[in-house]
Amino acid sequence: MNDHPAVEQRLGLVRWLTGHRHGIEGYLYICHRISGIVLLLFLSLHVLVTSSRLFGEETWQTLMSLTHSPALKFLEYLVFVAFAFHATNGVRLILIELGFAVGKAEHPVYPYRGSLHKQRPLMIVLMVVAAVLIVLGGFDALRLGR
Amino acid sequence: MHCGWAGNVTDNKIKYWALNVFCALVLAVLLGAHMGLMHLPGLLGQINPAWKDPLAWAHVSERGRSAAITGGYVLLLGLALFHGLYGVHTMFTEFFSGERAARRIAAGCWIAGIALFVIGAFSSVIFHISVPRT
Ligand code: HEM
């Protein structure tokens, strides 16, 4: 029963966490979801914190001085990491959804070449971009930060 | 192109999805600029010293005085909330099925989105109006 596609889809969390058997792209999918949730949670908090500028300079300075602690600096960096990954992987997903980098339709001649293999160079390029951004962000936070 | 972007977009689900992808594209540009300015001050400060300390009150007020930046913030907030909550909506509908659940999930997302949008947009606009202009 369980191998019926409709039933399998409802395995929910298990399918979520096992990379969908699609290899690295499956794990990118999980990371995309997690980073999206992180960004949304941060955005909610961010809206509330930045609203405090309405109460004037003193309140703002007090709140900002809290963010100088190493723990909060690290969390802030994690938000940047989530952004760098989510944005670059998101651009990859959009390009593929629009039909770019998926290759032309071919006759199914053995040995078959899956579409995922044609998409892989795009994935590698964009993950390198993500890694560069993440390193730059870390360098900024550690070396050049206030 | 193999998706229903341009022609025959009759289904509301496709419209919301297309809007979601459009939001993501604009976010990549707007949020990219915002994240760069706020999270890479050390690097960008080498290019323009004014970008060195974006969280200093003087710079916060300066941005608040600009109608374009205030408008940009409100736009960014709306796009990010729509896109983020669309994603959360997708995830919840994967876990909970049925008409009733779908209605509740959609209502919850709309309420959360509108509440956060009102708080964020209100504070940005009021700040823009009230920040000293000297
Ligand atoms: C920086 C620009 C961004 C880009 C390019 C981007 C791109 C994407 C894409 C392409 C998807 C998959 C949608 C689909 O294919 O149907 C997605 C999902 C998602 N995004 Fe973003 N996004 C961005 C920023 C954000 C922000 C700021 C948030 C939070 C407020 C966010 C939260 C989410 C969530 C929660 C999902 C759902 C994940 C899922 O359903 O698997 N994204 N994003």
Tens-digit pLDDT profile for residues A90-131: 999 999 999 888 888 888 888 777 777 788 999 999 999 999
Predicted-complex ipTM score = 0.90
Asked if B39 and B55 count as a contact pair (C-beta separation under 8 A), the reply is no
Q: What are the tokens at A28? A: 């990118």
List the domains of chain A with CATH numbers.
5-141 (1.20.1300.10)
pLDDT at residue A1, rounded to an integer: 40
Taking the Cβ of residue A58 and every Cβ of chain B, the question of whether any pair is shorter than 8 Å is answered with: no
The residue with greater pLDDT, A89 or A70, is A89
State the pLDDT at residue A23: 78
Residue A22 pLDDT: 67
pLDDT of A142 above 60: yes
CB neighbour list of residue A109: distance below 8 Å, 6 or more residues apart: none
State which residues form the domain around B120: 4-130
Q: What is the pLDDT of residues A52-64, one digit of tens each?
A: 999 999 999 999 9
Identify all chain B residues contacting A99, using CB atoms and an 8 Å cutoff: 1-3
pLDDT tens, residue by residue, B77-110: 999 999 999 999 999 998 888 999 999 999 999 9
Instruction: Name the percent of chain B lying above pLDDT 70.
Output: 92
In 3D space, the residue among A56, A61, A32, A43 whose CA is nearest the CA of residue A130 turns out to be A32
- Domain of B68, CATH number, reads 1.20.1300.10
Average of pLDDT values for B19-41? 96
Residue B3's pLDDT band, with cuts at 50, 70 and 90, is very low
Which run of H or E residues covers position B35?
helix B12-39
Whether the Cβ atoms of residue A76 and residue A42 lie closer than 8 Å to each other:
no
Summarize the confidence of residues B40-60 as an average pLDDT.
92
Q: How many residues are there in chain B?
A: 134
CB contact under 8 A, A145 and B42: yes
Which residue from A12, A76, A140 is facing B42, i.e. has the nearest CB?
Answer: A140
* Minimum Cα–Cα distance from A62: chain B residue: B57
Task: Quote the ligand 1 centre to A130 CA distance (angstroms).
Answer: 15
Measured between alpha carbons, how far is residue A86 from residues A93, A120, B49, B81, B101 in Å?
A: 10, 17, 29, 15, 28
Q: In total, how many domains does chain B have?
A: 1
Q: Which of B13, B25, B35, B83 to mutate to test the pocket of ligand 1 (most atoms within 8 A of CB)?
A: B83
Q: Which of B23, B27, B79 to mutate to test the pocket of ligand 1 (most atoms within 8 A of CB)?
A: B27
